[in-house]
Each structure stands twice: as C-alpha cells, then as structure tokens.
C-alpha cells in the first residue's frame, strides 16, 4: 500500500502502459483519476475499478480540457499528489526519402504537429495545470514518460524523438524550479514494451526488437508501471531530476 490514500492522475490511462499503471496504483491504495481519448476503453476500466478510480475523456493537447479535468479532480478529492504524464502517440516516417538523388517523400507537417501536440505540449499542459495545486498543498510528484529514443535517437522518428528528448529537458528544468516547493520531478525512459499496439506488429519486427535487447525479451507494461510506482512512492524521496531507463539494456541501432 505504498500509495495509500494518494490522489494520482494518469494520462493515457485506459490502455497499454497507462492501464497497467492505473491498475497497479489502485492495488497500492491510490485513488486514480485517469484520462484518455478512448472513451470506450476508459469507461470499461472505470467500471471495473469502481470507487477507486475516476475517468475523464481528455485530449491532453487541449489546455482547456486539461484544466477542467484537473480542477474537477481537485474539486472531488481535495488535492492531487501524483501526476503521471504517460499519454503519447507516434506518427513515424523518414525525415526525407531520396531515390536516385530525387526527393520522393518526407515527414509530413501534420505528422510533426500531431506528435508534438500530444507528447510535448500535452506534458506541458498537464504539469502546468497540476503544479499550482501541488505548490499550494506543499508538495507532490510528477513523473513523465520519455523513451530510450529520446536518449539515443531512432530511425524514422524525428517527431517522436524530438518530443521525448524535450520531455527530458523539461524534467530537468522543472526539477530545478519546483524542488523548493517539495515537488519531485522525474522521467522514465522505456525501451521496447509489449503493448497492444506493439503486439500487432509483424513477427520479424518483434524479433528485431528482442535482438536489440540484451535481456532477450520485450518489456511488459507492468515493468514501466512499477517504475512509475517506485518514483511516485516515498521510497524514491531523494530521487529528483532523474531519467530512469527501463529498457532491458537496449542497444539502439539503425
């Protein structure tokens, strides 16, 4: 019961790593207010969890939706102890594709804008909405999802890598700015995780992912949820401004 009676917000909490986190936090005694754009999945999960959870359909890229969600959670529970910035999307594509010296394709502006809006602006929106409440109450914990690609780069992911590197940068800034208020700020950098989305990938792609992971397997969403849990708990009370890789020792190549 490491999060007993804590009020925890989880973005993208209805599926994948977010769902595993919502379930794990409830197991540890938290009241979890989770949001997602997938209303059907969100309603199904909150029905399963009952009074231990609250679901709101929220697009984290929309500041007004985020503020309404956070205000509503505080109105219901009186405080917010933990924010897990987990929501994220991908829109992969080569930065430029050239054949016989001729440009044939490049990453579309819409793909750049969509990923930046959710993965980077979304983290900014949620953290800025939560921080004043945490300051007023005298502390809290903010954990954001980066990625190993934010540390090492990855082929075909200019937009995604930019956001995940940006999350690391924002984490470092917020650790400096918010620490004096008793707010701990950290990031987790997952490797290849076997979410529902990844499970649908071709077997040869999954085999390649495993080949780049020295532990010889893909991560389970619970592996990341447990990292979030540790960082959210008092066991990590002196961990601040850190980026924790949870990646099976991954070695990224092209």
Where does residue 150 rank: exposed (0-12), middle (13-18), buried (19+ CB within 10 A)? buried
List active site positions.
Answer: 160
Where does residue 156 rank: exposed (0-12), middle (13-18), buried (19+ CB within 10 A)? middle
DSSP annotation of 142 reads E
Query: Two tokens at 34?
Result: 């989770």
Query: Two tokens at 117?
Result: 């809006």
Q: How far is CA 208 from each of CA 151, 161, 201, 203, 239, rounded to the nearest angstrom?
A: 20, 19, 11, 9, 33
């Amino acid at each position: 019961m490491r999060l007993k009676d804590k009020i925890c917000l989880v973005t993208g909490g209805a599926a994948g790593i977010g769902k595993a986190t919502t379930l794990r936090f409830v197991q540890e005694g938290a009241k979890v207010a989770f949001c997602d754009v997938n209303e059907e999945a969100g309603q199904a999960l909150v029905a399963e969890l009952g009074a231990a959870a609250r679901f709101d359909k929220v697009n984290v890229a929309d500041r007004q939706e985020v503020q309404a969600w956070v205000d509503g959670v505080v109105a219901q529970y009186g405080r917010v102890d933990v924010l897990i910035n987990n929501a994220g999307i991908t829109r992969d594509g080569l930065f430029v594709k050239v054949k016989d010296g001729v440009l044939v394709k490049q990453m579309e502006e819409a793909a750049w804008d969509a990923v930046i809006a959710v993965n980077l602006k979304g983290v900014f929106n949620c953290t800025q909405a939560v921080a004043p409440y945490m300051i007023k109450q005298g502390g809290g914990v903010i954990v954001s999802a980066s990625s190993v690609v934010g540390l090492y780069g990855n082929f075909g992911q200019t937009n995604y890598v930019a956001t995940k590197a940006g999350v690391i940068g924002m984490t470092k800034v917020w650790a400096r700015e918010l620490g004096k208020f008793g707010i701990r700020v950290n990031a987790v950098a997952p490797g290849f995780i076997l979410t529902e989305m990844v499970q649908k990938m071709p077997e040869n792609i999954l085999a390649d992912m495993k080949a780049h992971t020295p532990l010889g397997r893909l991560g389970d969403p619970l592996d990341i949820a447990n990292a979030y849990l540790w960082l959210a708990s008092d066991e990590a009370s002196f961990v601040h401004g850190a980026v924790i890789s949870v990646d099976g020792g991954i070695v990224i190549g092209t």
